[in-house]
Chain A
Amino acid sequence: MMDCTRLSHLLSAFIDDELDAEEKRQVRQHLVSCRQCNDLLDQLKEVRCLLGRLESIKPYHDFSALVKEELSHSVTIEFVPGNHKVISRGLMLAAAAALIGIFSMNGLVRNAKPDGYAQENPQRKVQVVSDSPTEAPPFTDRHYYFPVTLGNGSSSAWSIKSVVAGQNPATIFDDTSSGFYELNLFPSGQYR
């Protein structure tokens, strides 16, 4: 005979018909003689029934249009072997990748001034996009830095050839003397 404590944990699954045959048999047997568990069963059934009454909300958004719009702001950065060396822990991976690496990122690019958004919002900085240009960036934020320094022009060195946001060249801070490319990608929602 099952006790109430153990049985009560099975009641919701019993209501949902998610118990195996033996469990169902035990629950039924217990319910024959236990008023307390019968009361609980009735109330749990009612809670389930009430939740089923929650209305389905029609979204007033065209999500495919919203996603398409967001995708149109995608940024493509092309890396080429060159006179600059990308400083990153994954340089070896980068060098081992294709001769030209295309690295896509997504977000809104605006006002990418050397000391604009980054200084105003230091907490949003994400240091180093990735360990190699061919890896995807983290999705957690959309504000990226590309540390770059002058190299010796060896074949394994990389530089950023161009940046395109949608159909337009993105504003990018290209100050090789200070060793940074900086690209500000503004998150436009709290889940981005």
Chain B
Amino acid sequence: MLQSKALSLPTGLENGWDSFEKLVQTHERALYNFAYRLTGDPEEAKDLTQEAFYRAYKNYDKFTPGTCFDRWVYRIIHNLYLDHVRKNRKIRQESLDNPIRTSEGDITRELADNSAGPVEDYESLEFQGVLAKALKTLSPEFRAAIILCDVQGFSYEEISHILNCSIGTVRSRIHRGRRQLRELLQPYLASSSERR
């Protein structure tokens, strides 16, 4: 009887599954968060992250030694997500009126609350929901660049490698994304309320 090839050693992964498992454990939180901020949905993020790790394992022979494993998986996640969006054109561009799902429950608060002022509690569920919701209104390309820069802290050069685009494109996406967010988050900006 044939044995499954399921856990056979991918080329380049010298210590096999154990090595891969360590890589997953080291990077899973950051990668899951990237997927979560991209999709805005915890279950979708889990599915996306799992598939990205799965493909990373199966295609490990395509990984360039000496480069960062996590950057490679970020790229897989991003490509999978864009493919998914393109295949599902009907996928909703998040309406500001729709509730957003978070791991702690749905956030239904309106985004632009004109009575809102500078934020006093950044960790509040309410404000976290407002931020997540604003992020979700950006196009997938802008959103990915913004998450990688402002949430994950990558340099423009690192982002250009992950997103497979020029640094000029990264610069443009980040700036345009931030300008859109500035409009959406206007009521919460201290520099805005000072002038009101």
List the interface of chain A (C-beta within 8 A of B). 9, 11-13, 16, 18, 39-40, 42-44, 46-48, 50-61, 63-64, 66-68, 70-76, 78, 102, 104, 106, 139, 162, 164-167, 169, 189-192
Contact = CB atoms under 8 A, between A and B. Distances in A.
A23 B122 CA distance: 34
Nearest to A17: B155
A63 B47 CA distance: 10
Interface of B: 1-7, 17, 20-21, 24-25, 28-30, 32-33, 36-37, 42, 44-51, 53-55, 57-58, 80, 84, 103, 119, 122-123, 127-128, 131-132, 135, 146, 149-151, 155-156, 167, 171-172, 174-175, 178-179, 181-182, 185, 188-192, 195
Contacts of B128: 54-55
Main secondary structure of the interface of B (DSSP, over half): helix
B4 A72 contact: yes
B191 A42 contact: yes
A59 B123 contact: no
B46 A59 contact: yes
B188 A67 contact: no
A191 B50 CA distance: 9
Given A9-B175, A67-B53, A59 B32 contact: yes
A4 to B, nearest CB: 13
A61 B46 contact: yes
A74 B44 contact: no
A156 to B, nearest CB: 23
Given A59-B49, A70-B54, A76-B4, A46 B191 contact: yes
